[in-house]
Structure 1
Amino acid sequence: MKIAVFDCCDFEVNTLKDIQQKNNDEIVIFNESFTLDSIEKVKNFDGISILGYSKVNSFLLDQMKEYKIYHLSTRTIGYDHIDVAYAKSIGIHVYHAYYEPNNVADFTLMLMLILLRKAKISICRSLVNDFSLDGLQGRELRSLTVGVIGTGKIGKTVIHNLSGFGCRILAYDPYENEDVKQYVSYVNLDTLYAQSDIITLHIPLNEKNYHMINKETIHKMKKGVILINTARGQLINTKDLIQALEDEYIAGAGIDTLEEENGVMHEHIGVKIIDNRDLLYLKQFPNVVYTQHYAFYTQEACESMIRCGISSLQNKSKLCEI
């Protein structure tokens, strides 16, 4: 089998080289995104692997079909950068990667604790030798109610982690998970919004939940709620989140992914001028912890995603097929 690997990042190189050396299949690495221009280089390949930097639309999929490339994998969990429905309609198989959920679950809990204990303010003060306590009084998880939206692999692990802190846990998911029922009370979304002191999102993005956190749903929440998003940026309407922070309706936000992050995320911007005003404004709030979409970024998870992205093509894995 001949596989083209696009979007190769520095952290992937060693693992990909190891795969190349230990496989009989031909694996060719490209340090560029998969586009209509680059597909001309892989006319005779059997499968293509990408990251989220490549946006695979119907035009690119049509070209794949014309060149009889019927297998596409993304070395990511999420796959909203691929028009999966169209791919299926023209007979192209799409696979996504897998990793154990501990990385994102641990990161989620870290964001909760940083916001509850106002650690961002404390760290910034200490850098200028300000060791005062004014405004730093925090809260303890055991006294709070946490609402978990989505109880799949990551949401379930977040719940297991939270269970040790003694907090009350509410959960919402159309498909209830028997593994967590001993720790949570399943409720509808309105109840979760109304009763939770912290709300954390762990669901894939789709047309139905785009901007599910917006002006209307925010005002169903408790005043003083903390929001955590380590899932997909488009789940939250950024402008409505900013307004709620300005109004001091939301007490804090832990944001690892933002809806308008293309061209910024995973890049060293330095002194370049960027036009993403919402991003620049959002990160300046003292009660917002904004990170560069790296909740997934552990040694263990990266290796798992890379190997899964290649092996799913080699084995035409039904377990990884979307």
Structure 2
Amino acid sequence: MGTIKVAFYDAKPYDQKSFNKVNERYGFDIHYFPTHLNEESVALAAGFDTVCVFVNDTVNAKVIDKLKENGTKLIALRSAGYNNIDLHHTYGKMHVVRVPAYSPHAVAEHAVALMLSLNRKTHKAYFRTRDNNFAINGLLGFDMHEKTAGIIGTGKIGKVAAQILRGFGMNVLAFDVYPDKQFASENQVEYTDLDDLYKRSDIISLHCPLTPENVYMINDDSIRKMKDNVMIINTGRGKLINTQDLIKGLKSKKIGSAGLDVYEEESEYFFEDFSGEAISDDVLARLLTFPNVLITSHQAFFTKEALESIAVTTLNNIRRYHQEHQLPNEICYQCNEGKCTRKESGRCF
């Protein structure tokens, strides 16, 4: 075939820099579009073999049908998560590939950075000293040593987070639907059920994918089971937490602090600059008023190593499909349902 054409949506300057560097090896014809992929912008992809999308792009049934009509054969996610794609509707129409892992250290380290900042109030101390205020009243923290951390989800990221926290001398509890007992034994991590994890943890950190079964797993009921003054960290997916229930827990002081790199309605705001405007999302605006809430804009993945890994895997996924008819990182609803029988070609259909 001729030169492979890729329509690249939601393209930020750092995306273009990292992908252009890696693309020197591949020679794809990449067109960068700053807009998100949605029903209004899908027409831009007409004539492109592949579309490359990110977490805030909308790939619903109408978008998928239009992509197929316009000749697109492959959707290449440059992320691990894929809850923004209607996989059921893609089946039999086009293939979807993702980046299953890029830098688990990047996300795990950011989660721990949120813990440390919330505990020792370093973000507050920074602004105080900038105003020549060197008082430390109100900045009291606690020793993380010998406290208990609960890790929900022990994939690659959760395991790195557990190892870092064990290095602090913390007791680490873990929950996963597929527990890795060997990892637990080697790293002095204790698997337990969710109720026990909620009851015993001083800090709870979410590292699980979003599935229909765990939407709003952090809610009024689960919060009631937690320790008073618990710290909650979310670098996973926004809808793991019911934000209204989180706010109630913060107001009642049941939750001592929260560090959020994701938010359930983030697509309109995260990755964009609204510094000259008022926030119209009342829930997000309310969260930003809490002195014990630290929000970052989905930046946990954002290291130079992770960006290079994302670019390499994404472009190699595209090359493998178009030039070798292979799909090593394919996802489909049949796979998610455990019903997929892969053919020898490596394709799901």
Aligned positions of 1:36-47 closer than 5 A: 36-47=39-50
Does residue 1:163 correspond to 2:169, yes or no? no
Equivalent residue runs for 1:7-26 within 5 Å: 7-26=10-29
Indicate yes or no: 2:140 matched with 1:131. no
The whole-number CA distance in structure 1 between the counterparts of 2:45 and 2:140 is 58
User: For residue 173 of structure 1, what is the aligned residue in structure 2?
Assistant: 176
Unaligned stretches of 5+ residues in structure 1: none
Across the two proteins, how many residue pairs are aligned to each other? 321
User: Alignment identity in percent?
Assistant: 36
Deviation at 1:138, TM superposition (A): 1.5
What's the TM-score once normalised by structure 1's chain length? 0.93
Q: What is the deviation of 1:38?
A: 4.1
Q: Deviations over 1:245-279 (max 9, x none)?
A: 11111111111111122221121112213311221
The answer as to 2:324 corresponding to 1:284 is: no
* Compared CA separation, residues 281 and 209, structure 1 to 2 (3 A): same
Deviation, structure 1 residue 3: 2.4
Looking at structure 2, the residues matched to 109 and 253 of structure 1 have their Cα atoms a distance apart, in angstroms, of 12
Q: Is the 8 A contact 2:18 2:307 kept in 1?
A: no
Question: Structure 2 CA distance, aligned partners of 1:230 and 1:124?
Answer: 24
Unpaired segments ≥5 residues, structure 2: 332-349
Indicate the residue corresponding to 2:118 in structure 1: 115
**Corresponding residue for residue 319 of structure 1:** 328
Checking the alignment, whether the CA contact within 8 Å between 2:98 and 2:329 is kept in structure 1 is yes
Please list, as runs of the form range in 1=range in 2, the aligned pairs for 1:185-196 lying within 5 A after superposition.
185-196=190-201
Task: State the Cα deviation string for residues 115-174 of structure 1 (Å, max 9, x = none).
Answer: 222323333332333322323221111120000000001001101111211111000001
Separation in 1 of the partners of 2:111 and 2:44?
Answer: 40
The secondary structure found in structure 1 opposite 2:267 is: coil
Q: Tell me the equivalent position of 2:339.
A: none
CA distance in 2 between counterparts of 1:292 and 1:112 reads: 16
The 5 A counterparts of 1:1-322 are: 1-88=4-91, 90-97=92-99, 98-177=101-180, 178-182=182-186, 183-316=188-321, 318-322=327-331
2:330 maps to amino acid:
E
1:37 CA drift (Å) = 4.7
Q: Relative to structure 2, which stretch is displaced further, 45-54 or 233-242?
A: 45-54
CA distance in 2 between partners of 1:100 and 1:223 (Å):
33
Partners of 2:298 and 2:142 lie apart in 1 by: 26
- Residues 199-228 of structure 1 deviation map (CA, whole Å, 9 limit, x = unaligned): 000011121111110111100101111000
Which amino acid in the other structure matches residue 49 of structure 1?
C
TM-score by length of 2: 0.86
Work out which structure has the larger RCO, using CA pairs closer than 8 Å and 6 or more positions apart in sequence: 1
Q: 1:269–1:25: structure 2 CA closer, same or farther, 3 Å change rule?
A: closer
Partner SS for 2:149: strand
Could you tell me which amino acid in structure 1 is paired with residue 168 of structure 2? F
Question: 1: CA distance between counterparts of 2:118 and 2:259?
Answer: 7
Q: Is the contact made by 1:149 and 1:173 (CA closer than 8 Å) also made in structure 2?
A: yes
CA shift, 1:41, in A, is 4.1
Distance across 2 between alignment mates of 1:145 and 1:106? 18
Question: Quick check: 264-273 or 214-223, which moved more?
Answer: 264-273
Q: Distance in 2 between matches of 1:29 and 1:11?
A: 12
Return the alpha-carbon distance in structure 1 between the equivalents of residues 291 and 27 of structure 2: 53
Q: Secondary structure at the match of 1:55?
A: coil
How far apart, in 2, do the equivalents of 1:125 and 1:4 lie? 46
Q: In 2, Cα distance between the equivalents of 1:85 and 1:141?
A: 44
Question: Counterpart of 2:299 in 1: which secondary structure?
Answer: coil
